[in-house]
Amino acid sequence: MTFPEKPQALPARAEFSSGPCPKRPGWSLEAVAAKAWLGRSHRASGPKAQLKQVIDLTAELLGVPAGFRVGIVPASDTGAFEMAMWSMLGAKPVDILAWESFGAGWATDATKQLKLDDCRVITAEYGELPDFAQVRAGTADVLFTQNGTTSGAKLPDLDWIPAEREGLVFSDATSAAFAQPIDWVKIDVLTFSWQKVMGGEGGHGVLVLSPRAVERLESYTPPRPLPKIFRMTKGGKLIEGIFKGETINTPSMLCVADALDALEWFAEIGGAEAVQARANANFGALQAWVDATAWVENLVAAPEARSNTSVCLKVVDPAVAALDDAGQKAFVKKMVTLLEKEGAALDVNGYRDAPAGLRIWCGATVDTADVEALIPWLDWAFAAAKSEMAAA
């Protein structure tokens, strides 16, 4: 069997995982450890001040409006979104939009665990978006993922949500926060995790609440038991300490220092606009190659709905597309194995529940030069895998 000639240059950093995502350029464990309050209680004055510093810098860089609360909570973005769902849903009808695995997970929790009476799930296939005209955006609570990490489809805008509304809007922005604009007028609950755009460590989530969300928490008692890590009120009042650095459970102060390191880098390079510009440049370089290459396409057909962070690609070469799902996944797995063996790309296989394809992280912690260096390796891996398939 004859493989095609390999490219000469490798990416300087071959990490393209969609979570945990690559560290920022120039990151070092030593620099993070020097900032960390290791071996200290998170309730001591120094560690507590650092937690508050992360909260304040997050709010500043994201442009969170005055009156909103920002808190650090347990269990990553999943924990943050679950806290909001279990504490607030049931007061109004609920519409959940699901077009990839995480949205589908929220729908399962709402229908099978919370067993909400008036709950509709509005779905779309991977790579597509639901019909927003079906959403009861003025009267119901609305839940969605702003950026579908496992499908590569993002919401182009929130124009379909009225500014004046009865329900709350819940945005799972785990792979959108910092990399995509946030329409705060249209959002009441926003969650994300440090391990996506920030390139931070896992295990901690961020929860942002609007004044309307706080009012819901203080006026509505859900008809279900709430575990301790979900409770945000006491005696009918918001536990304000959660949003001042008094975390519900013990955080990793090494992870907190790492998050601070990422946020300070964001500020150093120019804030949210510069962060978004880096992600856009990375996506632009990759998509330009996709547009010029016959064997691959973006899983998302509509350009305005294509993610600039978790970019999902499908192999459309006729010989591969003719294979069944298992065959296509095996072909992509071969590509991924070749790329990893050569040190050209790590962790770029599509999500396990998604259609067969590649998923390449293009967030701000990736350098555009590395995306450009990756591209010829993608062509090589495809040609090599196809050559092997033909010889089988």
Amino acid 256 reads V
Handedness of CA 107, 112, 113, 116 (dihedral sign): positive
Q: How confident is the model over 128-181, as pLDDT tens digits?
A: 999 999 999 999 999 999 999 999 999 999 999 999 999 999 999 999 999 999
- The structural domains of the chain, with segments of one domain joined by +, span 29-267, 271-391
Look at residue 3 in the predicted model and tell me its pLDDT.
Answer: 66
Look at residue 2 in the predicted model and tell me its pLDDT.
Answer: 60
How far apart CA 144 and CA 171 sit, in angstroms, is 5
Nearest-CA neighbor of 240 among 46, 67, 78, 57?
67
Structure tokens at 265: 């880098």
Question: What residue spans of 195-291 are helical by DSSP H?
Answer: 211-219, 253-269, 272-291
Nearest-CA neighbor of 98 among 127, 137, 124, 132?
124
- Range list of β-strands (E), 79-154: 94-98, 119-123, 141-145
pTM attached to this predicted model: 0.97
Residues 6+ apart with CB under 8 A from 350: 150, 312, 332, 356, 357, 358, 359
Has residue 1 got a pLDDT over 70?
no
Check whether domain 29-267 has CATH 3.30.70.120, yes or no: no
Any idea which fold 271-391 has? Aspartate Aminotransferase, domain 1 (3.90.1150)
Structure tokens at 367: 């350098």
Q: Could you give the C-alpha distances from 163 to 130, 160, 168, 185, 288, in angstroms and in order?
A: 20, 10, 11, 6, 36
- CA 128 remoteness from chain centre: 17
Look-up of token digits 């920002």: 70
Mean pLDDT of the chain: 97
Structure tokens at 199: 């390139």
